[in-house]
Structures are given as structure tokens and as C-alpha cells.
């Protein structure tokens, strides 16, 4: 499998870098900062929506776990066998990010749409992690959530910041934002691993 399919530097680090570029480019524009914070919240909503759809839609095996596509002797991990392919959570997340960034800065948003389409989704189709329809549906869902939810959350974040006069110190705010963007950049691998280990320990 091509190394860039699961390479966080080539996938999640790109929108994370764009996020911080826009944050510091608009350092004196509180509305832009509210939009960027709303972007992170919108992506969280999209991830929940994507997982909900995957759980409630009819189960669809991934191409790698389909003998008719990959051959009868192909062996896959339990992860691919148990995790429904429809819709692609990568497509949902990265197209949500691209859509939100597009609402803030069109040039950067278009660049992230292209990145999501070719570096993230196309690679996952080519190497059997998803069917084309999985990523198309995920892209539509992610883009729709970005355009529908992000403006609403932006207004909410603005009101909260104005209402409580949020003036968090940069030495506190920036590390917190970094931790959040790091989790997005790595598709929450660390958080999911800790959650799985905690669940095994407790149950």
C-alpha cells in the first residue's frame, strides 16, 4: 500500500497548517478567529454524523474485505471487517474541513478541496480502503455539514466570546488549540487508542 495513504503528515497536517496560517494571518480579526474555532466544532459534529450514518446504514464491507474484489485469499484485519465502509469517515472529515475553510478564505478552501479529493479520498479508493460511492457520499455529507452548521456555530462562538468577554491568554489558548488540531491531523488515533485501552481495562 502506498505510504501516503495513512501518512498523517500528508493528510491531516495539511489542513492543520492551513488552519494556523489563517489564524495568524487574521490575528487582529476576532470574527475570523471565531470562524476558525467554529470550524473545529463543525468537524466534531461531522465526525459524529459520519459515525452515526455508518452505524445506521446497511453494513457495507470494504473492498479489502470483499473476496469478489480483492480475491478469496486476501486476509484483512478485524478493523476492516467490522468497520462499515459507507460513508467514508475520511471524506466526511476532510471535506468538512475544506468547506469550512472555503467559507473563511476561498483560495485556501479550494486548495483543501483538491487535497481532500486527490491526496485523501482518491488514494483510499485506489488502494481498496473504500468504494468510490463511499467517498462521494462522505464528501457530500461533509460539505453539506460545513455549509449548514459552520455559520450557525460561528454566531454561537461570537456570542459566547462577547458574552463572557473571553480573553484567554495566548499561552493557554494556543496550546489547547494545538492539541485539538493535532488530534484532527492524526484522525484522533491517540484519543481512540486511549479510549479502547480504557474500555478494555474497565470492562
CATH code for the domain of 11: 1.20.144
Which of the four pLDDT bands, split at 50, 70 and 90, describes residue 78? very low
pLDDT band at 111 (very low <50, low <70, confident <90, very high): very high
Q: Give the pLDDT of residue 191.
A: 73
Question: Is the pLDDT score of 62 beyond 60?
Answer: yes
Which pairs with CB-CB distance under 8 Å and at least 24 residues apart come from 77-80?
A: 80/129
C-alpha R_g of the chain: 18
- Domain membership of residue 143 as a residue range: 3-202
How many domains is the chain partitioned into structurally?
Answer: 1
Amino acid at each position: 500500500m502506498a505510504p501516503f495513504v495513512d501518512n498523517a503528515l500528508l493528510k491531516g497536517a495539511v489542513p492543520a497548517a492551513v488552519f494556523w496560517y489563517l489564524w495568524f494571518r487574521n490575528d487582529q480579526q476576532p470574527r475570523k478567529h471565531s470562524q476558525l474555532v467554529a470550524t473545529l466544532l463543525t468537524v466534531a459534529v461531522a465526525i459524529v454524523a459520519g459515525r452515526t450514518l455508518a452505524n445506521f446504514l446497511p453494513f457495507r464491507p470494504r473492498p479489502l474485505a470483499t473476496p469478489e474484489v480483492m480475491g478469496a485469499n486476501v486476509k484483512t484485519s478485524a478493523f476492516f471487517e467490522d468497520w462499515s465502509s459507507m460513508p467514508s469517515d475520511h471524506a466526511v472529515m476532510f471535506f468538512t474541513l475544506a468547506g469550512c475553510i472555503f467559507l473563511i478564505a476561498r483560495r485556501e478552501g479550494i486548495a483543501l478541496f483538491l487535497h481532500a479529493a486527490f491526496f485523501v479520498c482518491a488514494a483510499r479508493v485506489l488502494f481498496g480502503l473504500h468504494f468510490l460511492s463511499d467517498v462521494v457520499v462522505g464528501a457530500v455529507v461533509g460539505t453539506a455539514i460545513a455549509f449548514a452548521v459552520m455559520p450557525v456555530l460561528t454566531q454561537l462562538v461570537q456570542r459566547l466570546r462577547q458574552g463572557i468577554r473571553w480573553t484567554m491568554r495566548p499561552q493557554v489558548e494556543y496550546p489547547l488549540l494545538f492539541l485539538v488540531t493535532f488530534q484532527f491531523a492524526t484522525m484522533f488515533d491517540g484519543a481512540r487508542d486511549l479510549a479502547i485501552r480504557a474500555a478494555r481495562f474497565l470492562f
